[in-house]
Structure 1
Amino acid sequence: MLIIQSNFKRAAMLLIAMLLLLGLGSPELEAAAHAKKGGEHGKASEHHKTDEGGHEKKESAHHGDSGHHGPVKSELTFVKKLRYSWLVAYMFFLSICLGCLFIVLLHHLFDAQWIVPIRRVCEHIACLIWFPMPLLALPFLLWPSGIYDWMLADPTTDHALKAVVKKWVFNPMGFYGFSAAVFLVLGYLARRLRYWSLQQDFAEAEDGEYEGKLDRIEKVITFFARFLLGHLFESRPSVRCSRMMNIHASYGIIMFVAMLTTACFAWVKALQYQWFSTMYGVYYFAGSVWVTCATVYMLMLLHQSQGILQYVIRRETYHDIAKLMFAFTVFYAYIHFSQYFLIWNAAIPEETFWYVQREKGSWWWIGQTIIFGHFFLPFLLLLRSDVKVNKSFMPLICIWAWLMHYLDMHFNIMPLIYPDGFTIYWTDFLAMGVIGGMLWSFYVKNLGRHPAYPQRDPRIAEAMGVYVEPEGGEPAH
C-alpha cells in the first residue's frame, strides 16, 4: 500500500512538472499568435483604406458592443484550456479546505461538542491550505496574463480599472500580495489550531511529549489576552490548549472571512474584472461549506468502515453534519437568489452582462440544473430526518453535491473560453485527478501520522454519548 501511494505521489509530481513546463512555453506561443494576428490586422488595415471607411465603421461598432468584455480575446489554445480547467479544479478543492477550516472555527467559537469526533479530519484538510495548495496554484499564479485579461488591459483607458477599490487588486503587486496573504494567514491559522489540538492529546500524558510552545505571534496575542484571561497560563495544560484554540478562533473567524473573500475575488471574479458584486464572497462561502459537509459525511463513512472512527462517531453525528448541509442548502439559494434579483432589478450594464453571458447556448440549461440540483432536490431530500442518517442513500446525495458544486465552479469560470455553451474537455478530468490525488496523498499521510480524533478534548466523552462523573463530588441529579 505504501509503495502504491509513493508511486502515485511521484506520478502526480511528474504531471505537475509537465503542467508547469507547459505554462513556461505558453507565453511564446501566445506571443507568436499575437504577432500573426498583428500581421493580419496590418493587411486588413490596408484593405480598409481602399474601402471608403465602410468596414471601419462596422469594426468600431463591433468593439463598442464588446466594451464590457475587456481586451480582445486571444486564440483558444490547448494551454489556455488547461489553465482554465486547472483553475476550476483548484477552486473546487480550495472550497473544501476552506469549509473544513470554517467547521473547526465554528467548533471552537460555540463549543459545539458534536464536531469533536470529526474535528481532526477537518483539521488535516484545512492544513492543506499550506503547503500543497500554494504549490498547486503555481500554474495560474506564475503566468496570470494567460487567464486574467486585466493583466493586458491599459489602466489609463479601461474605465473598469479606474475604480479606486479595483486599483488595489488589479495590479501585479496587489494580485501577488493578496494571493500570498491568503496562503500565509489561513495556513498559519489552520496549522496553529491543529498544533494545539495535537498538543492537547499529550497534555496529561506521562511520557513528556507535551510541548505547548507559543510562537512569536501567539506571544503577542496572549499578551493582550492576559487582560481578559489572567489565569491563562496558570491552568492545566489541557485547559490551556483549549483556551489557545479559542483565542485563535476568536480573531481567526474575521481573518477567515477576509481571506476567503480575497481569494474568490482575486482568482475567480477577476476573470471578468468589469463586473461588480458585493455578495460574491458570501456566495462562494455558502457553496464551500455545503460541499464540505458532503465531503466530511463521506469521510465519516469511510473511516468508520475502516475502524478508524468506529467508536467515536454516533448516529447523531451523521444527523448533525447532514443538518448543517441542509442549512447551507437554504443559505446558498438565498444568497444566489438575492444577488440575481438585485442585479436584475437594478439593470446596470456593469452587473447584468455577467448573467447575460451565462444565458447563452447550453449555459442556460446549466444554470437551470444548478437551480434545481443545488437547491430544490437536496432541500426536499434532506427535509426528512431518516434520510440524514441513511448510510445507503446519503452517499448518493453527497456525490450529487460534488457534481453540483463542480458545475457551479464551471458555470462561473468556463463561459469565458466557451461562450457558446457548456463544454467538457479532457483537461478538466486531468486537473481534477492531479489536484485531488495530490491532496488525498497529503491527507492520508497526516491522518496516519496523528491520532484520528482529539483523544483528550473535554467534550469527547459527551460527543461519544458516555457519561463521566464530575471530579470531586457526587453526580448531579
Structure 2
Amino acid sequence: MTSASYTAPPGVKRLQQRALVVGVVFTILFAVGLVLDRAQFFHSYLLAFAFWGGISIGSLALLMLQHLTGGGWGLVIRRVLEAATRTLPLVLILFVPIVVGAHWIYRWTDAAEIAKHPTLTEKAKYLNLPFFTIRAAIYFAIWLLLAFFLNRWSKLQDETANREFTKRMRVLSGPGMVLFVFTVTFASIDWFMSLDPEWSSTIFGFLFVGAWSLSALAFVIAVMAMLSKTEPMNKVVAQLHFHDLGKLLLALVMLWSYFAFSQFLIIWSGNLPEEIRWYLPRTRGGWGAVALAVVILHFALPFLFLLSRSLKRNASKLAIVAILILVMRLFDYLWMIAPAYTGEHFHLSWMDFVGPIGIGGLWLAAFAGALSKRALIPINDPLYETVLEQRHAHAGH
C-alpha cells in the first residue's frame, strides 16, 4: 500500500465546498449584526470562537496524547487531528476581532468601570488590553509551533519512511502536554473567566482543558464515522478502534463533569458572596433550564449510553452521541458567556445561532481542505501493520 491508496474520498472535497458556501453566506449575515447591535455581535462572536477554536486547540492535546500513548486508535485518527490543528492559523485570525472588539466584550477595558470597582483597580496590571494581547500572542505561538513540528515530522515520516520521526513526535509531546495545560488554563482565564473580572475559580482553567479536549474528540468521532463508511478508511478502521474512542469519550465526559461539579460544589459549600455571584444568574430562570439541559444531555445521557459496549463499537450510534455532546458543548459555552451580559434575564439573539454557523462553515472548509491534502493514514508509522492486523482480526465481528 502507498500513501496514494489512502487519498481522501470525494466527500471531503464536497464538504469543503458546501461548508465554504454556508460559511460565507452566514458570515455575511452575521456581519449585518455588527451594524444592528455591535455589543451583541461581539458577545455572539466570542461564543462562536469558543466553540470552533476549542476544537482546533483541543485537537492539539489529543494529537500529543496519541503520540505519547501509541495504539491503533491514535493512528487511525491522527490525520483528522493533524488537519484540525492546521486550522490554528485561521483560529489566530479569528481571534483578532476579539482584540478589536474587546471594549464591547470585557468590562475591564472600561476606565469608568475600573474606577467604580476597587477589585478591578487591583487587577488592572494583569487585565489590560496590551498585556492581554501579548499573552494571547504567546499562547498562539506555543500552539502553532507544536502543531507545526508535529505536522511537519509526520509528513516527513510519510515521505522518507524514517521512523526516527516517531520518536521526535513522542519526545516533543511530553513537554508539549505540560505547555498545553498551562496555556489553555491561562487562555480560559483571560478570554472567558475575565468576563466577570471580580470572580475567580482555580478550577476554571482545568474545566476548559477538559471541555476543549472533549469537543475535539467528539468532532473526530463524527468525522471518523463518516470516513469509515467508504474507501479507503473502511479497509483500515475496525470496531475495536471505535470502541477505544468511545471509552476515551466516556473518560473525557467524566473528567469534564468532575471539574464542573467540583467547581460548583466548592463554591456552593463555601457560600461566599464574591464566589456565588457567578452561579446565581446561571441557575435561575431560563439560564437554570439551560444548566439542567446541560447536566442531562451533556453528562447523564452520554454517560449512560457510553456504558454500552455494543454502542461504542457501532460507529453510527457512537457518532450520534458525539454529535449530541458537540451540540451541548455550544450550549454550555452559551451558558457560561451570555449571563455575563444579560444577568438573570434569559435572552437569546439570532446572532447566537448565525455566528457559530458562519464561523463554523469557514472553519469546516479550512479543515476539509487540510484533510484532503494528505493521505488519511500514515503508512510509514510503526503502528501501521498493527492497525491492519486489528482490522483483519475484527473483520466480520
- Name the CA shift for 1:13/1:399 in 2 (closer, same or farther; >3 Å): closer
Number of the residue aligned with 1:124: 83
Deviations 1:212-244 (A, max 9, x none): xxxxxxxxxxxxxxxxxxxxxxxxxx2221122
Give the conservation status (yes or no) of the 8 Å contact 1:121–1:453: no
Q: 2:59 aligns with which of 88, 96, 100?
A: 100
1:417 deviates by 2.9
Pair 1:338–1:10, CA change in 2 (3 A): closer
The 8 Å contact of residues 107 and 113 in structure 1, kept in 2 or not, is answered as no
Give the secondary structure class of the aligned counterpart of 2:315.
coil
Q: Which residue of 2 aligns with 1:133?
A: 91
Q: 1:286 and 2:243 equivalent? A: no
Structure 2 residue 53 is matched with structure 1 residue 89: no
Partner of 2:101: 143
Q: Does 1:194 align with 2:194?
A: no
- Structure 2: tracts of 5 or more residues without a match: 1-9, 392-397
What does residue 323 of structure 1 align with?
247
One-letter identity of the residue aligned with 2:96: L
Specify the SS of the correspondent of 2:86.
helix
1:406 paired residue number: 330
1:31 maps to what in 2? none
Look up the match of 1:383. Answer: 307
What TM-score results when the alignment is normalised by the length of structure 1?
0.74
Question: What is the rounded CA distance, in whole Å, between the counterparts of 2:311 and 2:23 in structure 1?
Answer: 37
Superposed CA offset, 1:92-121 (max 9, x none): 112211221111111122233421111111
Q: 1:345 is matched with which residue: 231, 247, 269?
A: 269
Partner of 2:5: none
- Give the distance between the partners of 2:377 and 2:339, measured in 1 at CA: 42
Partner of 2:374: 450
Matched residue SS, 1:417: helix
For residues 3 and 406 of structure 1, do their structure 2 counterparts lie closer, same or farther at Cα, with a shift above 3 Å needed? closer
Counterpart code for 1:180: A
Give SS of 2:279's match.
helix
State yes or no: 1:203 paired with 2:160.
Answer: yes
Kindly provide the amino acid, as one letter, of the partner of residue 354 in structure 2.
Answer: L
Amino acid at match of 1:191: F
2:136 to 179, 187, 190: 179
Q: Would the alpha carbon gap of residues 413 and 4 (structure 1) be closer, same or farther in structure 2, given more than 3 Å must change?
A: closer
Please give the per-residue CA displacement for 1:111-161, whole angstroms capped at 9, x wherever unaligned.
3342111111101102211x1111122222212011101000455663223
Larger Rg: 1
Could you give the per-residue CA deviations for residues 62-112 of structure 1, whole angstroms, max 9, x where no partner exists?
A: xxxxxxxxxxxxxxx722112111111110112211221111111122233
1:415-426 aligned at under 5 Å gives the runs 415-426=339-350
Q: Take 2:19 and 2:221, find their aligned partners in 1: how far apart are those partners?
A: 25
Q: 1:369 aligns with which of 287, 293, 315?
A: 293
Is contact 1:106-1:112 (8 Å) kept? no
Larger CA deviation: 432-441 vs 149-158: 149-158
TM-score (norm 2): 0.88
> SS at 1:465's partner residue?
helix
How far the C-alpha of 1:9 sits from its partner, in A, is 3.9
**Equivalent residue letter for 1:84:** H
Instruction: Go from structure 1 to structure 2 and tell me whether the alpha carbon gap of 1:169 and 1:21 turns closer, same or farther (over 3 Å shift).
Output: farther
Structure 2: how far apart are the matches of 1:414 and 1:275?
15
CA RMSD for the aligned pairs? 2.5
* Residues 303-312 or 10-19, more deviating: 10-19
Counterpart residue identity of residue 284, structure 2: K
Aligned residue pairs, count = 380
In structure 1, what is the Cα distance between the partners aligned to 2:327 and 2:367?
Answer: 22
1:283-318 Cα shifts (integer Å, max 9, x gaps) = 112122222222111111111223242222111110
Structure 1 residue 271 corresponds to structure 2 residue 228: no
Counterpart Cα distance in 2 of 1:316 and 1:15: 39
Equivalents in 1 of 2:160, 2:15: separation in Å? 36
> What residue identity is the alignment partner of 1:456?
N
Q: Secondary structure of 1:425's match?
A: coil
Percent pairwise identity: 26
Matching residue of 2:6? none
Say whether 1:393 aligns with 2:317. yes
Cα distance in 1 for partners of 2:327, 2:77 equals 23
Look up the equivalent residue of 2:320 and give its one-letter code.
Answer: L
* 1:374-425 deviation per Cα after TM superposition (whole angstroms, max 9, x unaligned): 2111111111111112234223212211121111000000112333444332
SS at match of 2:234: coil
- Provide the rounded CA distance (Å) in 1 between the counterparts of 2:81 and 2:345: 36
Q: Which one is further off, 275-284 or 150-159?
A: 150-159
Give 2:310's aligned amino acid: D
**Which amino acid in structure 2 is aligned with residue 123 of structure 1?**
E
- Shift, 1:262, TM fit: 2.0
Alpha carbons of structure 1 residues 373 and 272: separation in structure 2 relative to 1, 3 Å = same
Equivalent AA in structure 1 for residue 157 of structure 2: Q
Q: Of the two structures, which has the highest relative contact order with CA contacts closer than 8 Å and spacing of 6 or more?
A: 2
Give distance in 2, aligned partners of 1:168 and 1:153: 13
The verdict on how the C-alpha distance between 1:242 and 1:174 changes in structure 2, with shifts beyond 3 A counting, is same
Q: What amino acid maps onto 1:100 in structure 2?
A: S
What is the CA–CA distance in structure 1 between the aligned matches of 2:104 and 2:169, rounded to whole Å? 41
Other-structure match for 1:305:
229
